[in-house]
Amino acid sequence: MENIRTSKLLKFLSYILIPILVALIILSMIHLAFLDEFGNSKETKYEETQDFADNYLYFILDKISKCNGQKTDYERNYVKIEDQYGKKYYYSQDSYFYSYYYSIGEYIDYIIVNKQTNEMYTNMKSTNYDQEIENLKTSNYHWNYANGKIETDLKYINSDNIIYNSTYIYFDLDSNGENVTTNDNTLANYEIYSRYNENKTNQLTNFKMGKELYQFALEHQTLPIYILPITIILLAIIVIYLLWAIGHEKGKEDIVLNSIDQIPYEILSIIGLSILTIFLTITIELVHLINYLTLIAGIFIYLISYAIVAVFTVTTIKRIKAKKFLKSFLIYKLFVWIRNKYRKIQSNLKIKIQNKEIFWYFWGFIIISIILALFLFSSLAFFAFLLLIIFWVFVYCKIKQYLKKQEEIKEALEDIYNGKKEVYIDEKELKGTLKQMAIYINDISGGFSNAIQESLKSERLKTELITNVSHDIKTPLTSIINYVDLLKKENIQDEKIKEYIEILDQKSQRLKKLTEDLVEASKASSGNIKLNIEEINLKELINQCIGEFKDKFEQKQLIIETNMPNEEIKIKADNRYMYRIIENLFSNITKYALENSRVYIDLYKEGKKIKVSMKNISKDKLNISEDELMQRFVRGDKSRYTEGSGLRSIDC
């Protein structure tokens, strides 16, 4: 499902299918509208319909009005022509391109004769109009009006119809039901001969478009019944899919927004509506200009409009899914900005207690200075100037005094920071914020001193406890060691007993060593160790230790790699404790180094410092961090299956 949701191909196909399906739905609805209008008629051609007859009649009656000199926005007057016999003709130069009702004139040939003046109006060019009139009388789809009678093969505008409505003339039958009379005597002055000539023009007009749509609707009456539900269902499926998939991309959990989605919603709306308005205006103008180029332009405008609507809809859905719809409005951002500014101003207005004094001092200084300055322009200018100077000097002294007290507080804080125990500030000499700060500092200083005293007391108690326990352990331990020595001097023949005595000797000696280490650790913690500082050769000391541990190194098959300078390296230290440090490190190497590996010992100068580096490969993976390993009484071997207490790390 996730692959379907994030598929770019499916989304692309959906965007392509939507305008096609919408166009099919619109065309199907137009098709149904035609069927609804003409579905009950039994005509098989558009020329036999009521709609065609009405348009035909409207056009003919309009020609009569032109003969009387009337003129519309769409058409021009007749042009007078006289033949060689002096007979007057009026040739029509009308344009039928714009109106649906008038575009039928592109297909109608007519001759209108004024019986009073014998003038003829026509849109036909001929040398024998009498013959043309005879031809018009017998043509298919003709309509003639002469001597109060209608002769036509168009059933919806013949004399069998009782009433004919038009914009200009109302027709009716006489009392005998034969002759056609009108409520306009103008029509009685004319004879009208006309026919519909469907081969007259090939250009695409409103009339021709309507005719072709009607013909298509009649020939495919069941087509929209099948197409409309299928296209609606497909469109609904695609819309549901896009609502589900829009904003999701492969490998990303959150809704993905692009640069268009970052544009403020109002700006995007204005741009989209402006473009749509422009194209809608163009479309309205092109509605009257029906031709093939207009159809192509209409399709292009439709696709552009769809693209704009699609972009607008997609970005709206993505913003809603990402929960950023409101945040994408400029109005919302303006509201947030005003709210934040209001809160900031409100926060600034809520002056804390310790800042009120400075706040009122500042504005008091400004107000008093302005008042005194205003008096400089009065008769009391000298006294005002003197008071202003005195006031400024007073404010300067107060500021200097404030800064001095502030400096005292700063120095007290520095003393506490540097570890000074007894720090006290006289609170009675201070006011406002400084007094509150002094109280805090005195409390901190007192608490700090108490904490130090408690810490020292705790350390002293621990040291005394360790020392006392160590002494208590040493007394029975000395007796054990002495009795073990006595047993070793006895002539004991039993090998098993000798082995037990040897184990007792080893363990008692180890316990003695641990007790001594514990006492030394206690002294180191309390700072009671007495050091004998002297100049020692560190290089020689390291080599001495290497020689003493040679057997242990060979037993573990450890290869010692040393890197030390040729000259002597001398330092000032306690020779006994320095030796013990190196000894402890070598002891750790023999215990924990991987057998048959290398040990690297480096001694070098780095500026004014002497550095000793010892590196080995641990036989077991350390299960603690580096920082934890360097703490007191900590061993990397938590299982404690090797000898050692962790006390030696203190010596290091």
- Neighbouring-strand partners of residue 574: 533
Task: List, for residues 324-355, the tens digit of each pLDDT value.
Answer: 888 888 888 888 888 888 777 766 655 454 45
Please state, as a whole number, how many other Cβ atoms lie within 10 Å of the Cβ of residue 261. Answer: 19
Can you give the pTM of this predicted structure? 0.42
3-class state of residue 636 by DSSP: coil
Which DSSP symbol is given to 420?
-
Q: What is the DSSP string of 481-494?
A: HHHHHHHHHS----
The greatest distance separating any two alpha carbons of the chain, rounded to the nearest whole angstrom, comes to 176
62 burial (CB, 10 Å; 0-12 / 13-18 / 19+) is buried
Residue 322 contacts residue 254 (beta carbons within 8 Å): yes
Which parts of the chain sit beneath pLDDT 70?
A: 35, 37-44, 66, 68-103, 159-187, 201-206, 283-295, 346-360, 421, 432, 445-452, 456, 522-528, 623-652
**Domain locations in the chain?**
1-39+222-245, 46-217, 256-350, 353-417, 531-651
Going by their DSSP bridges, the two strands 88-92 and 78-82 should be labelled as: antiparallel
Going by their DSSP bridges, the two strands 559-563 and 598-606 should be labelled as: parallel
What residue spans of 375-494 are helical by DSSP H? 381-417, 432-489
> What pLDDT score does 441 carry?
75
Calpha distance 129→122 (Å, rounded): 10
Calpha distance 527→460 (Å, rounded): 10
| CATH number for the domain formed by residue range(s) 531-651 | 3.30.565.10
The helix (H) or strand (E) run that includes residue 296 is helix 292-321
> What pLDDT score does 234 carry?
92
What residue spans of 92-222 are helical by DSSP H? 129-138, 185-188, 206-219
Rg (CA), the chain: 58
Residue 307 contacts residue 315 (beta carbons within 8 Å): no
Please state, as a whole number, how many other Cβ atoms lie within 10 Å of the Cβ of residue 189. Answer: 15
Backbone angles phi, psi at 124, to 5 degrees: -115, 140
Calpha distance 145→147 (Å, rounded): 7
Residue 2 vs residues 6, 24, 444, 558: alpha-carbon distances, Å: 6, 31, 61, 60
